[in-house]
Amino acid sequence: MTRASSSPALAQTDQRLPLHARVKDDLIRRVRANEWGSTTPLPPESALAEEYGISVGTLRRVLAELAAEGLLERHQGRGTYVRRATFQHSLFRFFRMHGGTGQTPGSRILARNTQDAPAEVAKALNVEESSPVLHLHRLRLWDDTPFLVEDIWLPLPQFQPIANIALDELGSLLYPEYESRIGLIIGSATEELSVTQAPGEQAALLNCQAGDPLVRINRIARTHTGDVAEYRESYGLASSFRYQVEIN
């Protein structure tokens, strides 16, 4: 059995748990508190082991478990980092658009407003119906060609900084903006696909006919704590849609 640690860093952890579990709980707490930024590695293993009063071997076991659970990323020669889920290509993999590897699609916010949350949005965000939410209406483009129309809802007052800044200050990718402006990290998301018909406004934005089939992608994005941070509806032309999966 691993010896007990008198480290002050573990003072708030459950003393009944094994030492490695207490260290793991405290590291999870620190990750959720955004102690380490997107470009800041965790302290070296030797420093963390000393801080917690444990062996380097025990510390490595804890880091390996957190990496296996998707909370951390370990890079040989570079250190250990909090995992940032990468979503910039998740929607785009469904559509036959062209772009170089790593290319980020363009983004144009067409409207931004505060509104009372509709029932579907309130349910997705886990807020009361008619609670105030921030709404972004956005167009995504490859080489100036529209391919996605998005409606994005964010809970208030948490996302008030996004409501206050000039639209031209928002980058093409919103999740880095959430992190830099309000310290919120998106760690996971759930997506659901369905097919619908294009209403007039969306048809005009996507250069198609009203009533043409569209693929609708509903996304609920969550933080590392599992709290819902964003609800998004994205619409793309069904004629450009593709789906490919390998089954072994």
pLDDT tens, 105-116?
Answer: 789 999 999 999
- Per-residue pLDDT tens over the stretch 162-214: 999 999 999 888 988 998 898 888 888 899 999 999 999 999 999 999 999 99
Q: Closest Cα partner for 229 from 81, 34, 25, 39?
A: 34
CA-based nearest residue to 114, from 158, 178, 149, 175? 158
Largest CA distance in the chain: 70
Euclidean distance between CA atoms 72 and 83, whole angstroms: 5
- Please give the structure tokens belonging to residue 44: 């070296």
> In degrees, to the nearest 5, what angle opens at C-alpha 15 toward C-alphas 11 and 21?
95
Per-residue model confidence (pLDDT) at position 100: 47
Q: What is the dihedral of CA 175, 241, 216, 236, to 10 degrees?
A: 70
Is 98 exposed, middle or buried (CB count within 10 Å of its CB: 0-12, 13-18, 19+)?
exposed
Average pLDDT in the chain:
86
Tens-place pLDDT, residues 77-96 = 888 988 876 655 555 556 55
User: What local confidence, expressed as pLDDT, does residue 116 receive?
Assistant: 97
Average pLDDT over residues 63-73: 88
CA–CA separation, 31 vs 25, rounded Å? 10
- Show the domains of the chain with their CATH numbers: 8-82 (1.10.10.10), 92-240 (3.40.1410.10)
Count of positions (residues) in the chain:
248
pTM greater than the 0.85 cutoff: no
Q: Out of 12-16, 49-53, 115-119, 194-198, pick the least confident.
A: 12-16
